[in-house]
Structures are given as C-alpha cells and as structure tokens.
Amino acid sequence: MNKLIGLVIIVFAAVILINMFAFIVDQTQYALVLRFGEFERSIMEPGLYFRIPGIHTVKIFDNRVLDYDSPPTEVVTADKKTVVIDNFAKWRITEPLQFYKSVNNELNMTARLDEIVYGKLREEIGKKDFSDFIKERDVIMEEVLQLCKVWSKGEMNKGKIDPDNENSDGFGVEILDVRIKRLDLAKENESSVFQRMKTERERMAKEYRAQGEKEAKTIRSEADKEVKIKLSEAKMESEKIIGEAERKAIKIYADAYERGKDFFLLLKKLDLLDKTFNKGTKVIMSTKSEAFDILDSYDN
C-alpha cells in the first residue's frame, strides 16, 4: 500500500515537473520564449519544448486565420449622404515577435484593426458619391484592402501614406480580406436617395430608348437602301437579258430571211392574212392585190 502511494506521489510530482519544465505547441499555434522578459527564441513548428521556470516565460499565439467583425458605423459620402456600414476583416499572425512587440495580444490588435479599417473605409468612401460607391463597391473594397495590407507591414510611415504612424516595422500580421457585410442608408437620407436613384434610372431608360429608336431607324434606312439597290440591279439584269434575247431573235430572223427570202415573205403574208381575216369573213379584193395572188396560188 505504501509502495502504491509512493508511486502515485512520484507520478504526480513528475507531471508537475513536466508541466513546469515542458510545454506543447500544437499545429495551430506559434510561441515566443522570453528570458527574464527579453526575447530568446521563436517557435514556429508544433512539438514538445522545454523551459526553465522562473527564468523563461512562454507566450502562445494563434496562427490560424482570425476574424475581425466591426460594429455598424456611419460614413459620409462625397455627396453628403450618410450610410451605415457593417464590415469585417480576416487576418493572421505571421511574425509573432513583431506582433508581441507592437500590440502584445489579439485584443489590442482588434482595436487597431477597428481604427485602421474604419479609417480607410471612411477615407475611400468619402471620395465617392453614393451612386458611384454602389457601382464601384468591389473596386473600392480592393483599394481599402491594399491600404490595410500596406499599413499592417508598417509602410505607411515610410513616406508612402501616413507619416504620423508610430509603427515603423509593421504589426507582424497579414490582412487577408476586408469586406462590407451590410450597407444601409441612414433613415434621414433614404427617401431623397431613392428618389434620386429613380430619376437617374428613368433618365437612363429614356436615353436607352432614344438610342434604340435611332439605331432602329438607321437599320430600316439601310434595309430600304439595300432593297432599292437590289431591285435596281435586278431590273438592269432583266433588261439586259431581254435585250440579249431580242438581239438573238432579230439575228435568227435575219439569218432565216437571208436563207429563204421568198419563203420568209410568204410566211409573213400568211401571218398577216391570218390576223386580218376571221372564219366566215367575206372580203372583196382586187385580183391585182398581193393577198389575192397568195390565195390564188394556194388554191391552185
């Protein structure tokens, strides 16, 4: 029994000693080891590590993507419209030592994010009219994201953006995304903005209709012109064909006439008689007329 109690005491003491002298960093964490409050080493890989109690202090930081969710805030656009924006950002710690030196912990970093993200949103939205902001929302948010990335790297006070920023080496974080979840008009602006948007849409619709009518008129005019050209070309072609046919007919008549003048004259006279006299028609003619000669020769 005493041996069992002794074993339990030894195991318990070993666990306490291990907890005092060892610590675990898992795959979702970074760690800083401080020696009497001064930086000694960074731990970026998971595993079991050792420390000396009373000499070493271990600071653990989350290396996953973290969310920053801002409370709804008001921003004034260039055309003096007050809008309420509800935005969020995604970020992660990339350099634990710089993060610890600049803001110490996630709570302080959230406060800084709230300050810079809101500041850059207010700055960029304040340059645009409300209608332009609605149309260019994605572009504006990309600009805000780039500004926040520059800020997080400490480049704002290097003669680039904000020379008054006290952070010269960045915050040891990376801003991954900045987005607006919800955008509302302040109550006092809703009716005037909606009326303006309605008027603008009506104006655009009127312009589109006028442009459509103009294009339709142009298309009809071009179609009429094309039809006239086609008809003219068809008429010219038909006249050309008729002329060619008449020319060939005249040539055929001429050739036939040259080959048998007497026979040709006889046919013409018979054709004339056929068109002149109907069946049962009585005609009195001179025996000296050409028609009588033809009939007389035909009768003989």
Q: Is residue 193 situated within a structural domain?
A: no
The verdict on 148 and 207 lying in the same domain is no
The arithmetic mean of pLDDT across residues 272-298, rounded, is 64
Query: Does residue 191 form part of some domain?
Result: no
With respect to residue 11, please indicate whether it lies within any of the assigned structural domains: yes
pLDDT of residue 227: 87
Asked if the structure places residue 192 within a domain, the reply is no
* Residue 195 covered by a domain: no
**Is residue 266 included in any domain, yes or no?**
yes
pLDDT band at 253 (very low <50, low <70, confident <90, very high): confident
pTM score of the predicted model: 0.56
Neighbours of 128 (CB within 10 A): 18
pLDDT tens for each residue of 125-134: 888 888 888 8
**Residue 194 domain flag:** no
Mean pLDDT for the stretch of residues 246-263: 74
In a domain, 57, yes or no: yes
Q: Within this chain, do residues 91 and 175 fall inside the same structural domain, yes or no?
A: yes
- If we measure between CA atoms, which residue out of 115, 112, 102, 103 comes closest to residue 169? 102
Q: Calculate what percentage of the chain has a pLDDT beyond 70.
A: 74
Residue bearing the bigger pLDDT, 12 or 101: 101
Residue 268 CB neighbours (<10 A): 11
Q: Are residues 79 and 43 in the same domain?
A: no
- Domain-terminating residue out of 158, 185, 212: 185
| Distance spanning both ends of the chain, measured CA to CA | 169
For residues 143 and 251, membership in a common domain is answered with no
Residue 39 pLDDT level (bands cut at 50, 70, 90): very high
Q: What percent of the chain has pLDDT over 90?
A: 23
Q: Considering only CA atoms, which of 129, 143, 121, 134 is closest in space to residue 71?
A: 121
Is it the case that residue 55 has pLDDT exceeding 80?
A: yes
Say yes or no: 140 and 101 in one domain. Answer: yes
Task: Kindly indicate the confidence band of residue 277, based on its pLDDT and cuts at 50, 70 and 90.
Answer: low
What is the reported pLDDT for 9?
A: 76
**Whether residue 157 is found in the same domain as residue 178:** yes
- Domain total in the chain: 4
140/42 same-domain check: no
Residues 163 and 220 in one domain: no
CA distance 245 to 242: 5
Q: Which of 185, 212, 231 is the last residue in one of the domains?
A: 185
Per-residue pLDDT band at 31 (split at 50, 70, 90):
very high
Quick one: CA dihedral 19, 21, 25, 29, positive or negative? positive
**Residue 29 forms beta bridges with which residues?**
62
Across residues 46-66, what is the average pLDDT? Answer: 93
- 146/231 same-domain check: no
Which two structure tokens, joined as six digits, stand for 244? 């060619």
pLDDT band at 271 (very low <50, low <70, confident <90, very high): confident
**Secondary structure (H, E, C), the chain:** CHHHHHHHHHHHHHHHHHHHHEEEECCCEEEEEEECCEEEEEECCCEEEECCCCCEEEEEEECCCEEEECCCEEEECCCCCEEEEEEEEEEEECCHHHHHHHCCCHHHHHHHHHHHHHHHHHHHHCCCCHHHHHHCHHHHHHHHHHHHHHHHCCCHHHHHCCCCCCCCCCCCEEEEEEEEEEEEECHHHHHHHHHHHHHHHHHHHHHHHHHHHHHHHHHHHHHHHHHHHHHHHHHHHHHHHHHHHHHHHHHHHHHHHHHCHHHHHHHHHHHHHHHHCCCCCCCCCCCCCHHHHHHHHHHC
pLDDT, tens digit (0-9, with 9 covering 90-100), for 177-191 = 998 888 877 666 556
Same domain, yes or no, for 111 and 143?
yes
Q: How far is CA 114 from the centre of its chain?
A: 31
Handedness of CA 129, 133, 139, 141 (dihedral sign): positive
Domain that holds residue 110: 66-185
The answer to whether 68 touches 114, Cβ cutoff 8 Å, is yes
| Whether residues 23 and 54 fall in one domain | yes
Using the 3D structure, point to which of 133, 150, 185 is the last residue of a domain: 185
Residues 132 and 227 in one domain: no
pLDDT value, residue 164: 45
Q: Whole-number mean pLDDT of the chain? A: 81
Read off the CATH number of the domain in which 163 is found.
3.30.479.30
Return the pLDDT at 240. Answer: 87
151 φ/ψ angles, rounded to the nearest 5 degrees: -60, -45
